[in-house]
Amino acid sequence: MFGLRKAESDIQGNDDDDDCKAKLQWRLQEIKVIKCGTLERLIECLGSEAGDIDSNFVNTFLATYRSFASAEQVLDGILKRYKEIGEDVKMKQHHKEGHQKSLKTVISLWLSHYTEDFHEPPQYRCLHKLADIAKQYMPESDLSQRATERLADYIKEDDINNAVSVEDITLDIHLDLLQDVDTSVAYIQRPVDLMNIPSHLFAQQLTYVDSDLFRKVVPHHCLGSVWSRRDKKHGQAPSVYATVNHFNAVSYRVVATILKHPYLPPLERIQIIEKWIDIAQELRVLKNFSSLKAIISALQSNPVYRLRRVWAELNKESSALFKELAEIFSEENNQYICRELLNREGTAKYADPDSTGTIKGHTRRKSSGWGTTRSRRSVLLQDGPLMATGTVPYLGTFLTDLTMVDAAIKDTTPEGLVNFEKKRKEFEILAQIRMLQAAAHTYRIKPEPAFFEWFHNVRVYDENESYELSCEIEPITSITPKEVRGHRKKSSLGFFSPRRPASMVFEGLFRYPSTGSIAGDDAFSVISAPELETPIRGMPQPLKHSISSGSIGSLSSQDVKVSPWKTSAESLVVKVFLETADSQLTCNYKSIMVSNSDHTKNVLRNILLKFNMPDKPEDFMLFQILPDKEIQLPDRGNIFYAISTNVPDIRFVMRRRTEFDKLRSRKYSRAKQYKFTM
């Protein structure tokens, strides 16, 4: 199915003709655009009689086809179309040549720009098929040779990865031991501590990792149907998960360094917070919005946010700087400030000091450590040549946009055709990611091994541990305010599964960075979609990496209705409403993740944290709201298996226990205990 859109068309004329000068120079021309169609018809539209291609349509198709077809299905369709054209006796010869030429161009672009689609070990069916058919039907092209060479490269890589002998393992162990000795000696000579690492160096090392990970992001992994694992068949997005893991690793280390010593003198804790604000400023200068967002989110997380006495003593300069940095990621007007900065500085060589107050007007403090000092003046304001920087965006912005598109627009039309208008909207966002990836190559930063050794060895805590440490520092009181000097609670930590310690995120990353490159995806523990927390408008925003919890569902390939809140067999996303004293439900809800290992008390504790309530879990009960009734969930035991999932969305209501409920619960507990002791 085609639609029409209008485009400007230049009217050519003779410049010497006076009559032409008085005529219209531009007019609107109607152009056919594909709105929807079957896979077969979309493949037919890839070619043209003239032998050229519609670059917009082809690039959109190659970037987004994975949500409605596999690579093998598309390749089979293109090769089938190529052979049918050659066998069509009714088509004119020059039209045949034009169509076949354009199809070969499409395959060539596909093989060049989307090589990961052909990496299918161990059979490599697509490459074998392409090499054989190209050799038979396209002898004049180099496609067969390129496919064969690509296949040989993949097989060679697999052989190298699989050829690990006992001698290799022994040698690696010896080298690791030697490196450990060298590192230990280095630590004895110069101990590394957060306060000793210069802020600009800290920001550079984070940017070194962030830029490398962002360049490795495969844009189509960011599609809502792929990275959120809605389409289980094609739900593989390791490049996205690696970026999210690093984001989480930074955030957890911010919280850990602030909370790890409950009895630390207040002045020293204040200095640690100011240190992180300084690092955030340096990241802004480097245009690294990913780690900048990670630090801001950690400082706004509940365990840190609630330390009102600490924040009250923060110096005015740091407080103002933090507020301005946080404004970059304001959710107002669909994150307008952050988007505007990316549009203005995304491909620029330097950050614009006039674009935001977070750079101009604020100075750096002197920082010692490793024999270096730093001027108080900002790099953007110093004399002499500026250091060119790339850009690392906050990937959550794009993940949010793509998930919103995926949720708002259906994959197919009521007639069962592929909705290509949706694919076109998705491609517009993917094109922005590709453009910024090119800008990320501008960075020229060398890794510092001692930094990554320190980073790896920081002990981090899960959400419950962090909150307990925070309460040790400042115990809960009845007068604890919800707002601290304009510093609002934005998010809470919650990306890591309790079954996978956050400290494992950087396992292997730069432990021995003598090669000067970042370890591959294996260096990161890939988290599942339930832990990743896909963005949905209106939900609470844990760590703000993807602005909310949950993963957006859709119809499966078998047209079976699946609850959009059932993210996997191991976890569920639940909307939780709070019932007030007058038995009314609050309009706002919080979303939480319930895993198959969660007990009722832990779930209640997480809900109270979400609502920023200092109460005890024992004072509340949970009910599930069903279409025709409510059911009370058990007070003890694993809550996961008590949840009814045969509903469009899973909703809880949390109610405060009455004295009668408490008495009945205690009697039940004693009766159960008596029964077990009989």
Q: What are phi and psi of 93, to 5 degrees?
A: -60, -45
Does residue 89 have a pLDDT over 50?
A: yes
122 upstream amide cis, omega within 30 of 0: yes
Report whether 637 contacts 623 (CB < 8 A): no
CB burial of residue 10 (10 Å; 0-12, 13-18, 19+): exposed
pLDDT value, residue 64? 94
Query: Which residues of the chain does CATH 1.10.840.10 include?
Result: 198-378+443-535
CB burial of residue 231 (10 Å; 0-12, 13-18, 19+): buried
Instruction: State the pLDDT confidence band at 352, using cuts at 50, 70 and 90.
Output: low
Q: pLDDT over 90 for what percent of the chain?
A: 41
8-state DSSP, 485: T
Q: State mean pLDDT over 508-537.
A: 32
Q: pLDDT over 70 for what percent of the chain?
A: 66
Does residue 486 have a pLDDT over 80?
A: no
Q: Are strands 26-34 and 571-579 parallel, antiparallel or unpaired?
A: unpaired
Does residue 182 have a pLDDT over 90?
A: no
Cα distance between the two ends of the chain: 74
Instruction: State the pLDDT confidence band at 517, using cuts at 50, 70 and 90.
Output: very low
Q: What are phi and psi of 125, to 5 degrees?
A: -60, -45
Does residue 213 have a pLDDT over 90?
A: yes
**Tokens 């059979």, residue?**
123
Does residue 369 have a pLDDT over 50?
A: no
Instruction: State the pLDDT confidence band at 381, using cuts at 50, 70 and 90.
Output: very low
- What span, in angstroms and rounded, lies between the C-alpha atoms of 392 and 113? 21
Query: Beta-carbon neighbour count of residue 22 at 10 Å?
Result: 7
pLDDT value, residue 33? 83
Helix boundaries (H) for 359-462 = 395-408, 420-439, 449-457
3-class state of residue 89 by DSSP: coil
Select from 1.10.3720.10, 3.40.50.2020, 3.90.1150.200, 1.20.870.10 the CATH code of 35-161.
1.20.870.10
Instruction: Tell me the two tokens of residue 447.
Output: 């890794």
pLDDT tens per residue, range 539-598: 333 333 333 333 323 323 333 333 444 444 567 888 888 887 665 666 677 888 888 778
Instruction: State the pLDDT confidence band at 602, using cuts at 50, 70 and 90.
Output: confident
Instruction: State the pLDDT confidence band at 330, using cuts at 50, 70 and 90.
Output: confident
- The region, left, alpha or beta by phi > 0 then psi within -120 to 50, assigned to residue 543 is left
Considering only 44-48, 82-86, 591-595, which range has the smallest mean pLDDT?
A: 591-595
The residue type at 69: A
User: Class of the 571-677 domain?
Assistant: alpha beta
CATH annotation of 198-378+443-535: 1.10.840.10
- What span, in angstroms and rounded, lies between the C-alpha atoms of 440 and 629? 54
Q: State mean pLDDT over 642-671.
A: 72
Query: Which residues of the chain does CATH 1.20.870.10 include?
Result: 35-161
Question: 560 or 269: which carries more pLDDT confidence?
Answer: 269
Q: Are strands 620-625 and 651-656 parallel, antiparallel or unpaired?
A: antiparallel
pLDDT value, residue 624? 92
Does residue 243 have a pLDDT over 60?
A: yes
